[in-house]
Amino acid sequence: MIEFNDVTDEAPKIEFPCLYPIKIIGRSVEGFQATVIEVVERHTGDLDANLINVQSSAQSNYLSVRVTIAATGEEQLRNLFEDLKALESVKLVL
């Protein structure tokens, strides 16, 4: 019998450095992609264009920018996510 007391709610530990995908979804406004990439590069340095994927929603109201970064630590990720969420046009960061 499994007891629920044995289960922990801790997130799995990430071993750094590692490749880390981030998906940023926001309103499809002029300059959205460039602004998102600029914020990401402030925390990571230049991104390889092959590690950036952009998709538009069905009605082109939203844009999804998926980047894969070389993550160096939790603090870097925390700061990056905070800066991305602070952008007015960003709706979701995953």
**CATH of the structural domain 15-93, one choice from 3.40.50.720, 3.30.360.10, 3.30.70.260, 1.10.3300.10:** 3.30.70.260
Confidence of residue 13 (pLDDT cuts 50, 70, 90): confident
- Given a cut of 90, whether residue 80 has pLDDT beyond it is yes
Task: Report the distance separating Cα 26 and Cα 15, nearest Å.
Answer: 29
Mean pLDDT of 5-31: 83
Coil, helix or strand at residue 77: helix
* Domain limits, the chain: 15-93
The 10s digit of each residue's pLDDT in 20-74 is: 999 999 999 999 999 999 999 999 999 999 999 999 999 999 999 999 999 999 9
Its sign, for the CA torsion 52, 85, 46, 18, is negative
Give the pLDDT score at 38. 98
Residue 56 confidence (pLDDT): 97
Token reading at 84:
């991305």
Tokens of 28: 């499809």
